Structure 1
């Protein structure tokens, strides 16, 4: 092991004591010589062994520190050897006592924590046997369950947020939890609608989150609101109660929803705040035309595309002007006819 890892051998190789003090070859020579003589004069020790004054003093200091040499009370210049077993007992006993105390504390802590194991195991069995779908009607309970799932998440969270931008307060609360997940190594993918690119608080949230490693994309329309944790638990909104949620654990349903998210993600565009020249703007207008052709009213179109009614009507007016349409339904019809007409020169 080399000179820093061996105890002294017959040849006087250096080693290390329990205190970490280096036993030099000179110290070993001094101890052997004093042991042979029974005692020695510290003032003549160096000259007797052919050591410099500094080397002799260093060796004596090491040996007295390790309780292997001691000065006689009646003659402080006289050194006598001490049995290594006695020195070991004096040096090691306090450390062993400390270790015994630490081991006792560890055993006590282990025993106290082990008392909780049956409670956790029982809860785990109940958790694994939970119903595939749970209706939670209390908003605080919903928030608490999502917070707990966020803290427990270890691999990936998928989030789909239809509609426009969210309130700055909700975005700030989400940022703190989402940042903590990202710093634990959790992958985070979020889908917004294209119209969220207009929203300044969402722009700032997206910038901060992408700086932390999150991935954000947008589409003109989304399939619905959901949050999926680790491909095991999905939260979706309640159909009849805005403050309620449905929590899904059933594996096939969770896998289906996550696959739906992944498919939508593959079609979505990476988030960029400035989108005047982006194809996302054209996609929004195409979606408006398609929904008008289906006979939807302005309010429904705005809700489906996550924009305000005023913005929606502004887009509709531009589309009608471009198509020369007298009504919204006619605009949808004309756009559909134009899109189905064969290109010039085609067979």
Structure 2
């Protein structure tokens, strides 16, 4: 109607369309924001404007801003890359020609992991033993993982079966799986391991206190290849971490964990060692052991060990010929 009449008057438009005056006023304001109607001014009619002119008025500032941002990005790249040579020449971290470097400072390890992640183009493989991970660590890793997936990097992660009982871990796995990540669980895992593009691997040092440990950064092809093959071996026997089918899968995995505890009890391992190997809290492990002892009718840990040794086939445990001397 405004185009036919050559002007836009709220009352006239409302009467012609049979609409409320308030709705017409809102429509006029929206059209003015799009530069399709002239601004409201005393003594001057509101008239339709050329859409091509409106397009130019709206788009040009955005194009200018984008061009300015692109120039800023180029400047940042140029400045930081020019400084990178000096930094690498003095940096105490792993040099390109050093196949294995041990870093004691956790912050330095984090910087090297960030550098490997930024340069990753094909795949990240990681072993994450110890059951469910703390929510704050998962939140930090969430953005890193999603950023890799957006770049088309294949992400594969192995947890222990006990991680399935962690709500935070299940939520995290569900989110990254929907974006293309692959997650499996296994009964036991070795130490934590991260490998980028099958070229650089990170292995943590032994923790000696409450502070996060350092790590060894490995670029030697033979060693990295061995670690990749070790990961693939566990990956092949791992079970898909399917959050949507958690209830059906959990009972079967719980039985696997139970049989694992029986097997490790038969080896004579201490409660703390069993808990660490299966990625669960010692208190949780002891509850499982108490339930197993009650089921067997054993009144002591020693008696339970003897009964398992005699009836291992009943429980499905693969018993070793002798227990370790130190219980570790």
Is the shorter-chain TM-score for this pair beyond 0.5, marking a shared fold? Answer: yes
Report what 2:237 is aligned to: 267
The CA RMSD over aligned residues, in Å, is 3.2
Q: Does 1:338 align with 2:308?
A: no
Report what 2:199 is aligned to: 232
Deviation at 1:329, TM superposition (A): 3.9
Distance (whole Å) between structure 2 residues aligned to residue 142 and residue 128 of structure 1:
13
Report what 2:20 is aligned to: none
Report what 1:145 is aligned to: 112
Q: Does 1:170 align with 2:140?
A: no
2:213 to 243, 248, 251: 243
Deviations 1:301-347 (A, max 9, x none): 11111111221111111111222223334334433433447x9xxxx
Q: Does 1:295 align with 2:268?
A: yes
Report what 1:216 is aligned to: 183
Deviation at 1:120, TM superposition (A): 5.8
Report what 1:308 is aligned to: 281
Following superposition of structure 1 onto structure 2, how do residues 43-54 of structure 1 map, counting pairs within 5 Å? none
Any idea what SS the aligned residue of 2:261 has?
Answer: helix
Q: Is the 8 A contact 2:206 2:213 kept in 1?
A: no
Unaligned segments of structure 1, at least 5 residues: 1-108
Q: Does 1:135 align with 2:102?
A: yes
Deviations 1:223-249 (A, max 9, x none): 221000010111011025542111111
1:197 to 147, 164, 167: 164
Unaligned segments of structure 2, at least 5 residues: 1-73, 317-328
Deviation at 1:279, TM superposition (A): 2.4
Indicate how the Cα distance of structure 1 residues 244 and 324 shifts in structure 2: closer, same or farther if over 3 A, else same: same
Deviation at 1:215, TM superposition (A): 0.5
Q: Is the 8 A contact 1:234 1:254 kept in 2?
A: yes
Distance (whole Å) between structure 1 residues aligned to residue 170 and residue 113 of structure 2:
24
Q: How many aligned residue pairs are there? A: 233
Any idea what SS the aligned residue of 1:177 has?
Answer: helix
Distance (whole Å) between structure 2 residues aligned to residue 122 and residue 143 of structure 1:
17
Any idea what SS the aligned residue of 1:247 has?
Answer: strand
Report what 2:27 is aligned to: none
Any idea what SS the aligned residue of 2:213 has?
Answer: coil
Distance (whole Å) between structure 1 residues aligned to residue 108 and residue 83 of structure 2:
26
Indicate how the Cα distance of structure 1 residues 311 and 119 shifts in structure 2: closer, same or farther if over 3 A, else same: closer
Following superposition of structure 1 onto structure 2, how do residues 53-72 of structure 1 map, counting pairs within 5 Å? none
Distance (whole Å) between structure 2 residues aligned to residue 160 and residue 308 of structure 1:
19
Indicate how the Cα distance of structure 1 residues 131 and 333 shifts in structure 2: closer, same or farther if over 3 A, else same: farther
Any idea what SS the aligned residue of 1:307 has?
Answer: coil
Q: Is the 8 A contact 1:136 1:247 kept in 2?
A: yes
Q: Is the 8 A contact 1:295 1:329 kept in 2?
A: no
Q: Which structure has more strand as a fraction of its residues?
A: 1
Deviations 1:19-53 (A, max 9, x none): xxxxxxxxxxxxxxxxxxxxxxxxxxxxxxxxxxx
